[in-house]
Structures are given as structure tokens and as C-alpha cells.
Amino acid sequence: MAKQSPIIAPSILSANFARLGEEVDAVVAAGAGWIHFDVMDNHYVPNLTIGPLVCEALRKHGVTAPIDVHLMVKPVDRIVPDFAKAGASVISFHPEASEHVDRTIQLIKDSGCQAGLVFNPATPLSYLDYVLDKLDLVLIMSVNPGFGGQSFITSALDKLRRVREMIDASGRPIRLEVDGGVKPSNIGEIARAGADTFVAGSAVFNEPDYAAVIAAMQRAIAAA
């Protein structure tokens, strides 16, 4: 399966939450394809962020771009239908946060959303031996989850290459997403490793010109 067209997914974790609707409008106007929505529960990860109410508020505000919900929540199943009702497009979860990974994937799909499985830097890829054929997205964490603004962990590149091979062998249109420390200076190398969906939080929202940074990322991906 050929790599899918690249998508930049700004993580709103680094947005100005006091003006969230305008921030999302601004990154979509600047070329963002998806909005990455980080949900942290102060249990699975040591930070607390936003829930379905905020997702629903963005939809009511008029956001039509796909909302890519990254659940860092344990246990995960109870919150899945709430996010589906709130307007999530893709819902991804960590295998450590589910008692029954296969069942959680099915729950996400039955809720009408696309399903993704997330791998922390030290999480083995072996889950994919059993569930890759049921997934719409594989998300490789290139930081330990919980905070924006961390440095890219380079072992993620090898993991991306290995998942790229698995996806290509599957023949299915599964997206390969990377999350953590992605910026214009490393996104070319990350694209060469096989990613097609790029989360970037601080690299986008900490810059004054969102369009310029997204364009720089798109140029680096195209040259990769």
C-alpha cells in the first residue's frame, strides 16, 4: 500500500485555551489537515487536560476538520462513546490503558469512529501481530506521553520503519502517525522513516506565523 497523502495535525495541547476556537480556526486556515486532541487523566499520565465537552464545543463553534482524539486515559472504554457523540473522527488509545485491546478497537469502530493504537517509546509492537488488520491508524509516540514541548526520541524512527513495512505488507490504507517533538528540522527524516501523519504541538503554536511553520513542514515532507 503506497503511503497516504501527508497530514499535519497540530496538537491543541500547546494552543491558547482561553481562545481555543479561534486557535483551531487559525491552524486550519494555515493548512492543518487534522486537529490533534490530547486527553490526559492525571492517572494514566501525570497531567490533566480536556474531555468530550471541549470536543463538542469545537464542533458547535463550527470546526469541520477531522478531530484526532488521543486518549491517555485509563480505563479507556467508558469514555469512548462520549467522544464519539462529541464529534471525534479518529480515536486512538494506548494498549496499557485497556484490559481488552481487541474489544476497545471494536468499541471505537461500533461508535462510528476510526480506530488507532498508540505505542509509547518502550511499548513493543507485538500487539500489531494480532490487530493491525482492524486498525485505521497506528500512532508511534516519539516522547513519553503526558506533556508537550519534549524532545524527539530517535528510537521512534526505527519503530516507524518497522510499522511502515507491516502496513505496506497488509495492503490496507492504515495511517502511520507520529507524535512528540516533531518540528520543521526533523520532519523530513521522520517522513523518510515512513510516517504520513504528523502531530506537532509546540512547534506550531509557539510560532507567531502558523502558516509559515506548516508550510515549512510540508516542504520538508515533500523533499523527503
Ligand X SMILES: O=C(CO)[C@H](O)[C@H](O)COP(=O)(O)O
Q: How far is CA 190 from CA 20, 100, 141, 211, 215, in A?
A: 28, 31, 12, 20, 16
Closest to Fe ion by CB, 104 or 142: 142
Instruction: Work out the widest C-alpha separation in the chain, in whole angstroms.
Output: 45
* Residue 11 beta carbon to Fe ion: minimum distance, rounded to whole angstroms: 5
Q: What residues contact residue 212 under an 8 Å CB cut-off, 6+ apart?
A: none
Amino acid at 162: R
Contacted entry of Fe ion, ligand X, none for residue 127, CB cut-off 5 to 8 Å set by kind:
none
First to last CA, the chain: 18
Closest to Fe ion by CB, 150 or 170: 150
Conformation bin of residue 194: beta by default, left when phi > 0, alpha when psi is -120 to 50? left
Contacted entry of ligand X, Fe ion, none for residue 146, CB cut-off 5 to 8 Å set by kind:
ligand X
Contacted entry of ligand X, Fe ion, none for residue 135, CB cut-off 5 to 8 Å set by kind:
none
Closest to Fe ion by CB, 26 or 200: 200
Residue 149 binding ligand X, by CB under 6 A: yes
Window 12 to 51, contacts with ligand X (CB under 6 A): 13-14, 36, 38
Peptide bond into 124 cis (omega under 30): no
Window 75 to 134, contacts with ligand X (CB under 6 A): none
Window 187 to 216, contacts with ligand X (CB under 6 A): 199-203
* Residue 14 beta carbon to Fe ion: minimum distance, rounded to whole angstroms: 11
Report, as residue numbers or ranges, the catalytic residues.
38, 179
Q: Which value, to the nearest 10 degrees, does the dihedral of the CA atoms of residues 148, 149, 154, 159 take?
A: 20
Closest to ligand X by CB, 168 or 189: 189
Q: Please give the full DSSP string across 128-196, using - where no structure is assigned.
A: HHHHGGG-SEEEEESS-TT-SSPPPPTHHHHHHHHHHHHHHHHTS--EEEEESS--TTTHHHHHHTT--
Binding positions for substrate: 11, 70, 146-149, 179-181, 201-202
Binding positions for a divalent metal cation: 36, 38, 70, 179
Residues forming contacts to ligand X in the complex (CB under 6 A) are: 11, 13-14, 36, 38, 70, 143, 145-150, 179-182, 199-203
Residues forming contacts to Fe ion in the complex (CB under 5 A) are: 38, 70, 179
